[in-house]
Amino acid sequence: MAFISNLVHHPRKLFLRRALFQIHLWAGVLLSLYLIVISLSGSILVFQDELTATTFPSTLAPYDIAKTASIPDVIHAFNGLYPGGKITFLTVPTPTMPAYQLRAIDAQKHELRLLADPQTAAIQLQPRNWLNVVHDLHIYLLLGSKHGIQINGVGGVVLLLLCITGLFLWWPGVKLWIRGLRISFRHSWRRINFDAHNAIGIWTLVLVSWWAISGIYFAWYKQVGFVVNAVSPLKGMVAPKPPPPTVSNGAHASLEEIITAAQQASPHGRLNEIGDPSLSGSSIHVYMDLRAPNDFSHRDIVTIDASNAHVLTVWHYGQNQTLGDWIVWSMFPFHFGTLWGLSFKILWFLLGLSLAVLTATGLLMYWNRYLRHHWRRLINSSS
């Protein structure tokens, strides 16, 4: 009973709170640089689509839907420039991303990122620019896709720990809890910094926790999906299992036939991406956006037999049926904040910066409480 009473009225008296304070303090200090980098890079990536268009070479022709080169023209241009190569992924031009974008490998198995002119289909290398660095920094910590995203998952675990311990540390007792929701500017800057850390932390707690959870999901999506499925079965967010493709005699359908089949299977969709447009595999994935171009939250993913252009499955991605579906579906849009218009992006950009502000105010609190005293003693002892 004493524990409950102190928890409700005088949480600062609890040993548990002091222990959690040490965990929160040192986890925050050790991850401070990481959290600031993730915060700043993530905020920039909210506007990735708009910024990507500005990085395209000025030599590309302007996007004009009436004059857009056909996908077979792009494939033909690629094959002429990279004989023996293979396009693994192709994205069609849109007003916000006004060029064909290709991921490919050449005959020597070197990975390529290419652009194709939206009108002439001329192929050129996509130059690596500052936005690519920011993207790889946020997603892979510049360590490559194999290890970087796993380390980010560990960072998500520690960030979630910071959120849980921070909630406990924020609680000042039932009589004072409202004070923890606001910043008082009538005190010294140290008290203002303390109030800012508390208030920003509690107001952004749910969102920052979600960023942590989704970061864990991106690193270990199968394991997180298993846990979510145990709570609420996944239905709409599970890709349908296609039947085996037809045994081919070496011939395959044309790319035009495959695209036509995808458009018939998703009459309300707009072609956005094609997986393996070089038709090197037994089946092809075609991505049909149902809302705005590049809105990956609602799309039909059509799997087509490459030998005869028969539709194998249609995955209506975004048609959620259960709570588990909604949880898994929400990982992407609520992490990146890119789907609901400019106003939402601006809000997400500012909220993304809050993680850096929390880290900075936390470091200042550490300085105010401990480091400045040690620094003074060090200076006095040396003089």
How confident is the model over 188-193, as a mean pLDDT?
88
Nearest to 132 by CA among 190, 240, 51: 51
Using the Cα atoms of residue 206, residue 211, residue 213 and residue 214 in order, give the sign of their dihedral.
positive
**pLDDT exceeds 80 at position 380:** no
pLDDT of 3 reads 64
How confident is the model over 231-249, as a mean pLDDT?
83
**pLDDT exceeds 90 at position 164:** yes
How confident is the model over 239-248, as a mean pLDDT?
76
Q: Please tell me what DSSP assigns to residue 256.
A: H
Distance CA 134, CA 45 (A): 8
How confident is the model over 61-85, as a mean pLDDT?
92
pLDDT of 250 reads 65
Domains of the chain: which residue ranges? 16-50+137-234+340-382, 58-126
How confident is the model over 233-259, as a mean pLDDT?
83
Q: How confident is the model at residue 1 (pLDDT cuts 50, 70, 90)?
A: low
Q: How confident is the model at residue 280 (pLDDT cuts 50, 70, 90)?
A: confident
Nearest to 228 by CA among 330, 363, 89: 330
Q: How confident is the model at residue 269 (pLDDT cuts 50, 70, 90)?
A: very high
Q: Among 21-35, 135-149, 174-188, whose mean pLDDT is lowest? A: 174-188
**pLDDT exceeds 70 at position 227:** yes
Tell me the pLDDT tens digit for each residue of 93-132: 988 888 999 999 999 999 999 999 999 999 999 888 899 9
Distance CA 257, CA 273 (A): 15
Residue pair 156/212 in contact (Cβ under 8 Å)? The answer is yes
Q: How confident is the model at residue 225 (pLDDT cuts 50, 70, 90)?
A: very high
**pLDDT exceeds 90 at position 179:** no
Distance CA 282, CA 304 (A): 9
**pLDDT exceeds 80 at position 344:** yes
**109 compared with 5, residue with greater pLDDT:** 109
Q: What is the mean pLDDT of the chain?
A: 89
Nearest to 32 by CA among 198, 157, 159: 159
pLDDT of 206 reads 95
pLDDT of 184 reads 84
**pLDDT exceeds 90 at position 331:** yes
pLDDT of 247 reads 63
Q: Among 26-40, 231-245, 314-328, whose mean pLDDT is lowest? A: 231-245
Q: What is the CA radius of gyration of the chain?
A: 26
How confident is the model over 49-57, as a mean pLDDT?
85
Q: Where are the alpha helices (DSSP H) in the chain?
A: 2-9, 15-30, 32-45, 48-55, 71-81, 130-140, 148-170, 189-203, 205-219, 221-231, 255-265, 323-336, 341-366, 372-382
Q: Please tell me what DSSP assigns to residue 94.
A: -
Q: How confident is the model at residue 293 (pLDDT cuts 50, 70, 90)?
A: confident
Residue pair 257/286 in contact (Cβ under 8 Å)? The answer is no
- What are the contacts of 5-12 at 24+ separation with CB within 8 A? 8/173, 8/174, 9/173, 9/174, 9/175, 10/173, 11/168, 11/171, 11/172, 11/173, 12/172, 12/173
Nearest-10 Cα torsion for 54, 57, 58, 63: -70
How confident is the model over 336-351, as a mean pLDDT?
88
The string of DSSP letters for 38-77 reads: HHHHHHHHTTHHHHHHHHS-TTSPPP-GGGPPPHHHHHHH
**pLDDT exceeds 80 at position 366:** yes
What's the pTM? 0.87
Q: Which two tokens stand for residue 347?
A: 């809000």
**pLDDT exceeds 90 at position 57:** no
How confident is the model over 186-210, as a mean pLDDT?
91
Q: Is 100 helix (H, G, I), strand (E, B) or coil?
A: strand
Highest mean pLDDT among 177-181, 265-269, 304-308, 340-344: 265-269
